[in-house]
């Protein structure tokens, strides 16, 4: 190997190592910021407990047998799985906006990809904690096993995480343009999709005019597959395949959107809105 080639290889290795350190440093920073904010603890622990008790008790009160409780508890668990990922990403950027720290990050070697990578790691950690809390509520108070839907949960959860990350990118793109006034999208985007995606009921229960919209949302296919798994124990591979294709399209659109917003951020001087 020539000296030039050796130097290039060493530089690449150092670059990758430095990138990993920056990602881990931003991950640690986000965890410390959120750990010191009581609002994040409320979203991470208190709200999952409230949702678990609320929907579990509704299933007991108005359902017959164990099926309604399993459906509601599994639905709220999956909803928090995707919601926590979205919250971690969108609120991670907003924390930098609120603390007027965005300019400091821009002045560092940290790249946009590394910053997003750190938010993704934090989102996964939040998801594990939140979903575990709901699973404990379901198992401890309502005798609902977290894996009631069977193997459909594995690909279903993976699709939901990717879809949640796509929504995160859309929200980050809007935050770059509108600043902290885009906070409402962090809370409201998935709440808007929740009633349309049939998380707790079949799509046929929706008003007829909304059913075509619901069918076009990838989340709907995932929840239909999970509901079939709860009922029959079988994996609805067709529904999951449609959900995967729709999620891939959504992710590509989200990547294009956030890349476009970043280029406009630099070209139009949007950074002045964050100083």
Spatial separation of the C-alpha atoms in residues 98 and 93, rounded to whole Å? 9
Token pair, residue 31, equals 């965890």
Burial class (CB in 10 A: 0-12, 13-18, 19+), 241: middle
**Angle between helical axes of 237-267 and 153-178 (0-180°, round to 10):** 20
Question: Percent of the chain at pLDDT above 70?
Answer: 93
Give the pLDDT confidence of 171-223 residue by residue, as tens digits.
Answer: 888 888 887 777 788 777 878 888 888 888 888 888 999 999 999 999 999 99
Taking phi first (over 0 means left), then psi (-120 to 50 degrees means alpha), and beta for anything else, what does residue 234 get? beta
Check if the beta carbon of residue 26 is closer than 8 Å to that of residue 114: yes
Choose among 52, 31, 30: nearest CA to 101: 30
Taking 90 as the threshold, does the pLDDT of residue 237 lie above it?
yes
Q: In b/e form, how buried is each residue of 208-231, taking b as 16+ CB within 10 angstroms?
A: eeebeebeebbbbbbbbbbbbbbe
Which band of pLDDT confidence, cut at 50, 70 and 90, is reported for residue 6? very low
**Angle between helical axes of 67-98 and 47-62 (0-180°, round to 10):** 160
Q: Residue 213: CA atoms inside 13 Å, Cβ hemisphere, count?
A: 10
| More confident: 240 or 191 | 240
Check if the beta carbon of residue 203 is closer than 8 Å to that of residue 215: yes
Token pair, residue 184, equals 């409402």
Task: Collapse the DSSP code of 173 into the 3-class scheme (helix H, G, I; strand E, B; otherwise coil) and give the result.
Answer: helix
Average pLDDT of 62-72?
Answer: 86
Which band of pLDDT confidence, cut at 50, 70 and 90, is reported for residue 15? low
Q: What is the CA radius of gyration of the chain?
A: 21
Spatial separation of the C-alpha atoms in residues 77 and 25, rounded to whole Å? 30
Q: What is the mean pLDDT of the chain?
A: 85
Spatial separation of the C-alpha atoms in residues 100 and 259, rounded to whole Å? 22
Token pair, residue 136, equals 């404990």
């Amino acid at each position: 190997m020539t000296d030039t080639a050796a130097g290039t290889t060493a530089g690449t290795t150092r670059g990758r190592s430095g990138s990993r350190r920056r990602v881990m440093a931003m991950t640690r920073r986000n965890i410390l910021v959120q750990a010191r904010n009581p609002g994040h603890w409320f979203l991470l622990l208190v709200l999952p407990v409230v949702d678990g008790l609320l929907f579990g008790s509704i299933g007991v009160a108005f359902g017959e047998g164990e099926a309604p409780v399993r459906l509601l508890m599994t639905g709220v668990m999956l909803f928090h799985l995707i919601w926590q990922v979205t919250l971690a990403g969108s609120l991670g950027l907003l924390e930098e906006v609120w603390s007027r720290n965005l300019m400091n990050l821009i002045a560092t070697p940290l790249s946009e990809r590394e910053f997003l990578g750190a938010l993704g790691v934090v989102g996964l950690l939040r998801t594990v904690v939140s979903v575990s809390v709901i699973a404990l509520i379901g198992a401890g108070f309502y005798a609902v096993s977290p894996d009631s839907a069977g193997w459909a949960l594995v690909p279903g959860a993976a699709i939901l995480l990717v879809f949640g990350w796509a929504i995160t990118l859309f929200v980050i793109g809007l935050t770059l343009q509108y600043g902290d006034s885009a906070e409402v999208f962090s809370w409201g985007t998935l709440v808007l999709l929740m009633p349309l995606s049939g998380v707790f009921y079949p799509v046929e229960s929706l008003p007829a005019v909304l059913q075509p919209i619901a069918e076009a949302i990838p989340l709907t296919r995932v929840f239909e597959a999970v509901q079939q798994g709860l009922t029959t124990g079988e994996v609805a591979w067709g529904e999951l395949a449609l959900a995967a294709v729709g999620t891939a399209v959504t992710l590509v659109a989200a990547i294009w959107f956030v890349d476009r917003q970043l280029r406009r951020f630099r070209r139009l001087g949007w950074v002045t809105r964050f100083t």
